[in-house]
Amino acid sequence: MESNLDYLFVILFLFVAGSIIMKMLKHGGFKGAIFGAGIQRTIAEVPGSGPGFGCLSLKAHKLDNSPRKSVGIELSSKSFSGYQMIPMTLSTTEVKQLTALLDQAIGRKRET
């Protein structure tokens, strides 16, 4: 009975690993697989500051043509103890909303 569970574990592991590899091949790499779309180019990287040691950065990526996923935002945190990356995809409408909110935050009026 225990050997059947071993086979089940191996099959499940191979299925998950194969799924990740297929997404990486389809979208052109690890980050493309995470965003669920290929990255055409990285637009910009903005360094940030946070509490404690380490550095934060925010990257904006132009994703492959998709109405629901036009921009990928990558928030990454690097420190001596590790690395964390938080991906987020935005549609064109959501990018415009974010731009408007950031303009409000710095007190700039938007031209319409």
Q: How large is the average pLDDT for residues 91-95?
A: 89
pLDDT(1) > 80 = no
pLDDT tens column, 5-48: 888 888 999 999 888 888 888 877 878 888 888 888 889 999 88
Model-level pTM? 0.71
pLDDT(112) > 60 = no
**Both tokens of residue 40?**
């055409």
Q: Which residues contact 89 (CB under 8 A, 6 or more apart)?
A: 35, 36, 37, 63, 68, 69, 71, 72, 73
